[in-house]
A and B are shown apart, each in its own frame.
Chain A
Amino acid sequence: MADQFDLIVVGGGPGGYVAAIRGAQLGMNVAVVEAEHLGGICLNWGCIPTKALLRAAEIHHLLHRLDEFGLAADNIRFDLGKVVKRSRAVAKQLSDGVGYLLKKNKVTVIDGRGRISAPGKVAVELDGKPAGEFTAPHIILATGARARTLPVFEAGGDLVWTYREAMVPDAMPKSLLIVGSGAIGIEFASFYSQMGADVTVVEMLDQILPVEDAEIAAKAAKAFTAQGIKMLTGAEVSQIKKSKSGLTATVVTKDGGQENKVDRMISAVGITGNVENLGAEDAGVTIDRGHITIDEWGATGAAGLYAIGDVAGPPWLAHKASHEGVVVVERLHGLDDTHPLDTSAIPGCTYSTPQIASVGMTEAAAKAAGHELDIGRFPYVGNGKAIALGEPDGLIKTIFDKKTGELLGAHMIGAEVTELIQGYVVAKTHETTREALANTIFAHPTLSEAMHESVLDALGKALHI
């Protein structure tokens, strides 16, 4: 194997493999160093396999609503092993697909753990043994992140899961305590609840889905509670005791402590960058609270060394990592029309039932930034397609700057909003104003009409409410 490249990407997740493909497209000789699976957490242990699980849960949930649609089925049951197996097969298919894409683009894949051994050099270790040293004028660190754990959870041993174990359960827990109500915690809560578990979510802050708009988060909390999920906000797990049948977690809220006996616990309290054993600090890279510090072009400050994706800080989203990878590569290649990622237009999606999606500023953030706001709201109950689908619970909220008409943020809850959000992301990225959106034609009958109506509502001229 040749050991000299134009570009070496350390990490083959959605940031790294995309950067590698883009580099190859631009004529570079590129290598990707991957320690585990191509496609990273996203494809193997994150975004994709959870969507496969949630699809099963959604169908299961709908099966229990058959009567509403005039349908009937008896003896509804599921085989958890098969559900998990399908999820793993989906992940494998996509991971293999990444291997194929890299091969097609003539990207060299180096198995092993990469480390910066000297400026412009990456030493690779496989199974604890040196597996070569490779050089390139440009090196991108895309090593991703892993679940953060709290010391208190250690007492639970293997009864406390991270997303990894939670994705491949061998049996359905009857009761489950989930700590953390970000996208990961809420998706697992939704999955396990719809598959029949008794789920409790513990959130340290006063609002579930802390990064989402408060109004949407409140609606979500109401919907989850109605489904039987117990939501404890302003709460912390202070103590865990392992017992024969499961574990007992002491949850402290402002009303005092309460003991929760559960079969399993899931820790979803955030993630931390994979910055260890990278040789990054020796190379002159700054690491701040578990993440590599970069500028808007992904540069770390050390010559020829860049970082993208989760290891370079929040938001921890695959699409942000991919986009950063493309930006870095195009920039170092000297393409003229390259632009730093617009952090105000990164969508975020939570694939629970109901789904939650957003882009841009929350109402609170927009107010704090000093904007005077025009806010539009439109409920799914005013949308024909939502009624026909049997999904009348939903809300589309749009936030505009009163003066300029700029779309500052959009926040949605309800069926398929994770697909709908992209309409607003395109609008926001292209700086479409309130008036331009109002003048856009939305197909009938679609859920997206509710997006239009929300904009019209911000202008005080919603039609169907």
Chain B
Amino acid sequence: MAISVTMPALSPTMTEGKVAAWHKAVGDAVAPGDVLAEIETDKAIMEIEAVDEGTLGKILVAEGTEEVPVNSVIAMILEEGEGQDALDAAVEQAPQIPTPAPTAEPAATPTPTPAPPPVTVAAPSVSPSMGRIVASPLARRMARDAGIDLSTLQGSGPGGRIIKRDVEGRPATAPGSAPATAPIAEQGVVEIPHSGVRKIVAKRLTESWQTIPHIYLNIECELDALLETRARLNQRADGAYKISVNDFIIRAAAFALAKVPAINVRWTDTAMHQLSSIDIAVAVAMEGGLITPIIREADQKGLAEISVEMKDLATRGREGKLMPEEYQGGSFTISNLGMFGIKDFGAIINPPQVAIMAVGAGQKQPVVRDGAVAIATVMACTLSCDHRAVDGAVGATFLKAFKGFIEEPLTMML
């Protein structure tokens, strides 16, 4: 019988995804390894490949459909010799009960899973229903158009029925469910629908800003010794690597975290989670959003290794091609806007991390050394700490350690 292609779980936490594009059309032959479709998740676009040979028999979820639940059937592949009958039977029996999401390394090989035992409905239902909601047809229609989850509303009609006035003027509840066709009457305004990345950035940052009490600690580091070391190292690289200032910063931050493990933690409402591995996330701008690829165990990696890895991650990150495990997790984030000439700024914490360091540009400026004015290249760093987890003194200790490594880079070579 026909083989179901389901929405893969590309990460342990993924519950739904967007079918960004179909690479095969109905009737196309497919061979194992062929790219069937692109799935857009929270932070990345992933390709799903065919594992079976056959013909793409039916596409059940159209390109551009958002919030498709994991494990719902998105397409059917017909095996050799199978015809419309097999397709009908399969569509009829397409499973809606999610199979347990794969746990270990979920994203490495996202493949269509074979159809679990037949259950009932075929069409992928997008919104999970939570019991019967009493609402007028008009209220339902308006809520649907505005992307409002009816279950979040209080009905003011007879018997608590949700009516028009309960829906009017309410903001959309589910991010991403507002229709792309929301009308804008204003002239000269072009509507650009939010990408999945944009939505998740907005949601996470809003949540962080609204729930985390941020404190900011600022320190200035002199870079001259570091720049000299960097020049010397790059001179003998012979093209094998080209270490950037940022690579030094990653390593210095990793060393500082090793010295001050109180910052290498995650905050949860019930307990602090101390992390054993030092995984540094680095914010990378990409079109329409932001992604934070991670240098795992950065304290265990040399500058050249960090440099090469970072370049690869940043390139693929900008293209939206990172695997979820390459950007999810992380114990600390660095956001560097020095290349834009930004002197100093504060960043918003990426929960459940408890700190993020905003790095400004290294600029030549007068400093007072031994009672005399001298010229030094100075870089301002601002550490944003979640005050629930990190007190000012702890943050300050971290910055002091970090400054030490930056200003005496040889200590990082130990």
Contact = CB atoms under 8 A, between A and B. Distances in A.
Contacts of A436: 137
A433 B138 CA distance: 5
A404 interface: yes
Contacts of B36: none
Interface in A58-86: none
A404 B158 contact: no
Contacts of B163: 431
Contact of B159 (A337, A406, A431, A433): A337
Nearest to A372: B183
Interface string B112-156: 000000000000000000000000111101100100000000001
9 nearest A-B residue pairs (beta carbon): A431-B136, A431-B138, A436-B137, A433-B137, A406-B138, A433-B138, A432-B137, A404-B142, A433-B141
B32 interface: no
Contact of A431 (B156, B164, B183): B164
A405 interface: yes
Contacts of B142: 404
A337 B157 CA distance: 8
Contacts of A406: 138, 164
Interface of A: 337, 339, 403-406, 430-433, 435-436
Contacts of A432: 136-138
Contact of A405 (B138, B156, B157): B138
Contacts of B136: 430-432
A438 to B, nearest CB: 11
Q: Which of A406, A430, A431, A435 has the most CB of B within 10 A?
A: A431
A441 to B, nearest CB: 16
A256 B163 CA distance: 52
A404 B140 CA distance: 10
Interface of B: 136-139, 141-142, 145, 156-159, 163-164, 183
A431 B137 contact: yes
The interface residues of chain B, by DSSP majority, are classed as: helix
Nearest to B163: A431
Contacts of A339: 156-158
6 contacts: A404-B138, A404-B141, A405-B141, A406-B138, A430-B136, A433-B138
B180 to A, nearest CB: 15
A125 to B, nearest CB: 41
Contacts of B157: 339
A435 B141 CA distance: 10
B265 to A, nearest CB: 50
A435 B136 CA distance: 13
Contacts of B164: 406, 431
A135 B164 CA distance: 41
Nearest to A433: B137
A258 B249 CA distance: 98
A268 to B, nearest CB: 36
A143 B137 CA distance: 39
Contacts of A431: 136-139, 163-164
Given A431-B138, A431-B139, A431-B164, A404 B159 contact: no
B388 to A, nearest CB: 42
A326 B159 CA distance: 17
Contacts of B158: 337, 339
Contacts of A430: 136-137
A402 B158 CA distance: 26
A337 B141 CA distance: 24
Nearest to A337: B158
A269 to B, nearest CB: 36
B167 to A, nearest CB: 10
Given A339-B157, A339-B158, A431-B163, A403 B145 contact: yes
Given A339-B158, A403-B145, A404-B141, 16 more contacts: A339-B156, A404-B138, A404-B145, A405-B138, A405-B141, A430-B136, A430-B137, A431-B136, A431-B137, A431-B138, A431-B139, A431-B163, A432-B137, A432-B138, A433-B138, A436-B137
A405 B140 CA distance: 11
Q: Which of B137, B139, B159 has the most CB of A within 10 A?
A: B137
A406 B145 CA distance: 13
Q: Which of B138, B139, B156, B163 has the most CB of A within 10 A?
A: B138
A428 to B, nearest CB: 9
A42 to B, nearest CB: 26
Nearest to B160: A337
Contacts of A404: 138, 141-142, 145
Contacts of B138: 404-406, 431-433
A433 B137 CA distance: 6
Nearest to B158: A337
B214 to A, nearest CB: 42
